[in-house]
Structure 1
Amino acid sequence: MAQTQTQMRKRVYYRGLNPACTSDLEHGADEVREIRGVVFDMDGTLTVPVLDFKVMRERLQLLPSQDIVETLHSWTGEKRAWGDRVIHDMEHEAMLATQVMDGTDEVVDTLERFKIPKAILTRNHRKPVDYLLQHHLPFDFHPIVTRDWDGPAKPHPAPLLHISSEWNLPSPHLLMVGDSLDDLQTARGAGAVAVFLENEHNGKYRDLVATQGLADVTLRSMRELVGWLERGFVVERASLV
C-alpha cells in the first residue's frame, strides 16, 4: 500500500518569477507550472495579529468549537445585530492598532515588479481592509473577499475559486498565504498552493500542520516569501491536481 501511495505522489515545480535566478529544482519534476497570482489572508499575514478570537468567542458566548462567522450568519434579528456590534467593536479596536507584518512591503513590491495579481481573502468585514490599504499598504489588491461576500467563508474553497474565476486563472497556479488552518484548508480544497506563515500566535497549529501535511510551503517570516517567489519551489503531494 505504501508503495502505491508513493507512486501516486506528484512533484510540481513552480518556476521562479525572476529569470535571473536559476534552479535545478525543475529536474525530476513531474510538471512545471508558473506562479500567476497570490492571495493573502489579512490578520496574522499581511498584518501583525491583534484580534483575540478567544476573547471574541467569550463576548459572543460561544463554545470553543463554534465557528464565529458561521454562527453569526445563523443568527437573525436582534441577536444578529448584537453579534455584529460585538465583532465590529473588536475589529475597530484592532484596526486602529494595525501594524503591517515585517517583510510585507517587500513581498508586494516583488509581485508588483513581476506584474503578478494580488488579492485579499479574509473573514474580516471590509472596513478594516480598506483602512489597511489606505493607511499602511497603498497597493492594488483585487478582488477583496471579506465576510460580507455572499458565498461561504473560509475554510470552504468557494471564495478562493471565486478569485480564481475573477482572474480567469486556474487555481493550481495560485498561492494562498495565511496563518491559520482555515487558510490552508481553503487552499487545498481549491487546488492552490497552501503557504503557512508562522507567527508568535499560531504555534498551536504548527504540529497539526506538520503531521497532517496541510502546508505545501512553511514560512517563518513574510520576507522569506520573496526568495520562494523569485527562485521557485517544488510542491509534492498526492492530492495536487
Structure 2
Amino acid sequence: MPTALQNINHWIFDMDGTLTVACHDFPYMRQQLGMADGDTDILAYVSRQDAATAVKMVRWLQDYGLDLAQNAEAAQGAVALLTHLHQQEHKLAILTRNERSLAMVTLEAIGVLDYFDEDCILGRESCQPKPKPDGILHVLNKWQADKANAIMVGDYHFDLNAGRNAGVNTMLLHPEFNEWPHLSDYYFADCAAVLTQLQYSAA
C-alpha cells in the first residue's frame, strides 16, 4: 500500500514533460540518429555504437538539448508545487535521462534551481539511467531516507519503473489518462492537481 501523499517528504522528479512543458521531438531525434522504426530507447541505442559514433551522437544531443533547456517553460503548476514543497522543507531531487548540465540550465530557466542541492540533480552521466534505480537509491542514501517516505514523479514508464525498481512510491503526471496504472501509485493530470491535493489534505 502506498504512503499517504501528505506523509511523503522526499520528492524525486523527472524533468522534461513533468516539471517543464514537453518539447523534445523524439521521432525527429531518432531520425537524426539513424534509429530504426520501433527502436525507442535513445540512450540504449547510443551506448551500442562504436566510440567515435557515440561521441558524435552525444554531441548532437547536447546541442539539441541546450536550445530547449534555455527556452524551457514550466509545466502547469510546477513552480507553485516546488515552492510549496520547498517551504515545507521537503527534500527535492531531479533524476533525468538528459545531461545534468542541461537539467541545471532548465531549472534556472524556470526559476527553481535554488530549491535543489546541486548533488541532488542527477543526469544520464551521473548514474545508470532510468529505468535503473541507481539514481533514486543514490539520493535516498544521501538523504538517509526511508523508501516509504519517498516518491518518484514522472510522465513516462521509465520514471515509474525506476521508482518500482527502487522500492519507492510512484506518481504519473499526464493530462489525459493513466497509461500505466500497474506502475503508478498516484496519478494526477499535472503539478497543479498535486498541489491542490496536498493543500486539501493539510486543511
- State the TM-score, normalizing by the size of structure 2: 0.88
In the alignment, the residues of structure 2 paired with residue 40 and residue 15 of structure 1 have an alpha-carbon distance, to the nearest angstrom, of 15
Q: Deviations over 1:103-162 (max 9, x none)?
A: 11111111112100100000010222121232322332130110111x311011121111
In the alignment, the residues of structure 2 paired with residue 223 and residue 157 of structure 1 have an alpha-carbon distance, to the nearest angstrom, of 27
**2:122 counterpart of 1:145:** yes
Q: Any idea what SS the aligned residue of 1:223 has?
A: helix
In the alignment, the residues of structure 1 paired with residue 161 and residue 5 of structure 2 have an alpha-carbon distance, to the nearest angstrom, of 24
CA drift of 1:74 comes to 3.1
CA gap of 1:214–1:15, structure 2 versus 1, over 3 A, is closer
In the alignment, the residues of structure 2 paired with residue 175 and residue 207 of structure 1 have an alpha-carbon distance, to the nearest angstrom, of 17
In the alignment, the residues of structure 1 paired with residue 25 and residue 14 of structure 2 have an alpha-carbon distance, to the nearest angstrom, of 16
Q: Give 2:4's aligned amino acid.
A: Y
CA drift of 1:224 comes to 0.9
- The equivalent of 2:166 in structure 1 is 190
- The equivalent of 1:238 in structure 2 is none
Contact 1:36 1:169 in 2 (8 A): no
CA gap of 1:155–1:12, structure 2 versus 1, over 3 A, is closer
Contact 1:14 1:232 in 2 (8 A): no
**2:17 counterpart of 1:44:** yes
In the alignment, the residues of structure 2 paired with residue 232 and residue 152 of structure 1 have an alpha-carbon distance, to the nearest angstrom, of 35
- The equivalent of 2:184 in structure 1 is 215
- The equivalent of 1:170 in structure 2 is 146
Stretches of structure 2 that go unaligned for 5 or more consecutive residues are: none
- The equivalent of 1:236 in structure 2 is none
In the alignment, the residues of structure 2 paired with residue 191 and residue 89 of structure 1 have an alpha-carbon distance, to the nearest angstrom, of 35
- The equivalent of 2:196 in structure 1 is 227
In the alignment, the residues of structure 2 paired with residue 153 and residue 13 of structure 1 have an alpha-carbon distance, to the nearest angstrom, of 25
**2:26 counterpart of 1:53:** yes
Q: Any idea what SS the aligned residue of 1:209 has?
A: coil
Q: Which has the larger share of strand?
A: 1
Q: Which has the larger share of helix?
A: 2
Instruction: Give identity over the alignment, percent.
Output: 26
In the alignment, the residues of structure 2 paired with residue 164 and residue 60 of structure 1 have an alpha-carbon distance, to the nearest angstrom, of 34
CA drift of 1:187 comes to 0.8
- Alpha-carbon RMSD across the aligned residues, in angstroms, is 2.0
**2:105 counterpart of 1:131:** yes
Answer with 1 or 2: which has the greater Rg: 1
In the alignment, the residues of structure 1 paired with residue 53 and residue 5 of structure 2 have an alpha-carbon distance, to the nearest angstrom, of 50
Stretches of structure 1 that go unaligned for 5 or more consecutive residues are: 1-10, 17-33, 234-241
Contact 2:160 2:171 in 1 (8 A): yes
Contact 2:2 2:169 in 1 (8 A): no
